[in-house]
Amino acid sequence: MFKIIVFVSGRGSNFKAIYSQIEAGIIKAEILGVVSNNKSCKAIDFAKEKKIKTYLLGDKSQGNEFWDFDQLAKIFQKENIDLIVLAGFLKKISEAFVNKFKQKIINIHPALLPSFGGKGMYGSHVHKAVFEAACKVSGATIHFVDEVYDNGIIIAQEAVDISDVASPEEIAEKVLKIEHNLLPKVVKKFVENKIIIIKNRVIVI
Ligand code: GRF
């Protein structure tokens, strides 16, 4: 079975979107674990409710329940993890970890990269910047993760018309709907081996 790990920091609605398609048999994969830097977030509560193994990201000096990137990498390599999905994960992934899972880590970003990405560009900050720039479209981007924030090659994007919005919150709402559709779709493509990289471009077949 295709093995997935999901990294989360908050609400977990994208994680739930993947989970529900696995549960429905649409995505033939299993989520082996959920990693979070945030002990008390909705995403972790959901993982526990579904009896998925959870890992708290931190340092062993903080307690035995914490795991750092090196320890997690060892576990995930041993388990032969196929795909790591950052679904609303706010911490930077260590360079060593990224190098161990080359082209196996993907992230969802709530804007059309390469605009409105980079350090500090997360959650409501993104939608506020898009609103202030008076953009007429926004959207979601799924990209491979490298050692630089929001920089890896783009796998998939979907745009949404935001010409009629009156607030950043309205943009967030529109984009989130797209995310919940796009992320499971891309995960399914990975499971079905339909993601091909040719000369630094990703072809989704
Ligand atoms: C999403 O908008 C995602 O694109 C961004 O953080 C948000 C997480 O939402 N990286 P959720 O935790 O999946 O509900």
pLDDT tens digits for range 130-155? 999 999 999 999 999 999 999 999 99
How far, in Å, is the centroid of ligand 1 from the Cα of 136? 21
Would strands 195-198 and 29-36 be described as parallel, antiparallel, or unpaired?
A: unpaired
pTM: 0.97
Would you say residue 61 has pLDDT above 90?
no
DSSP 60: G
What is the pLDDT, as a whole number, of residue 120?
A: 92
* Atom 6 of ligand 1, residue of closest alpha carbon: 88
Would you say residue 179 has pLDDT above 90?
yes
Would you say residue 91 has pLDDT above 90?
yes
pLDDT bucket at 101, cuts 50 / 70 / 90: very high
What is the pLDDT, as a whole number, of residue 63?
A: 86
Q: Name the one residue in this structure whose structure tokens are 């161990």.
A: 100
Would you say residue 77 has pLDDT above 90?
yes
* Atom 3 of ligand 1, residue of closest alpha carbon: 88
* pLDDT mean over 153-160: 98
What is the pLDDT, as a whole number, of residue 60?
A: 82
* Cβ of 117 below 6 Å from ligand 1: no
In this structure, are residues 162 and 135 in contact, taking their beta carbons and an 8 Å threshold?
yes
Q: Name the one residue in this structure whose structure tokens are 């007429």.
A: 136
- 109 class by beta-carbon count within 10 Å (0-12 exposed, 13-18 middle, 19+ buried): buried
Q: How many CB atoms lie within 10 A of CB 2?
A: 17
* Atom 7 of ligand 1, residue of closest alpha carbon: 88
What is the pLDDT, as a whole number, of residue 12?
A: 98
* pLDDT mean over 11-34: 98
Least confident of 22-31, 53-62, 123-132, 181-190: 53-62
Least confident of 18-22, 156-160, 166-170, 198-202: 198-202
What is the pLDDT, as a whole number, of residue 59?
A: 87
pLDDT bucket at 185, cuts 50 / 70 / 90: very high
How far, in Å, is the centroid of ligand 1 from the Cα of 10? 8
The string of pLDDT tens digits covering residues 113-129 is: 999 999 999 999 999 99
Q: Which of 8, 85, 89, 108 for a ligand 1 pocket mutation test, highest count of atoms within 8 Å of Cβ?
A: 108
| Residue 180 annotated to the active site | no
What is the pLDDT, as a whole number, of residue 62?
A: 85
Secondary element (H or E) of residue 169 = helix 168-191
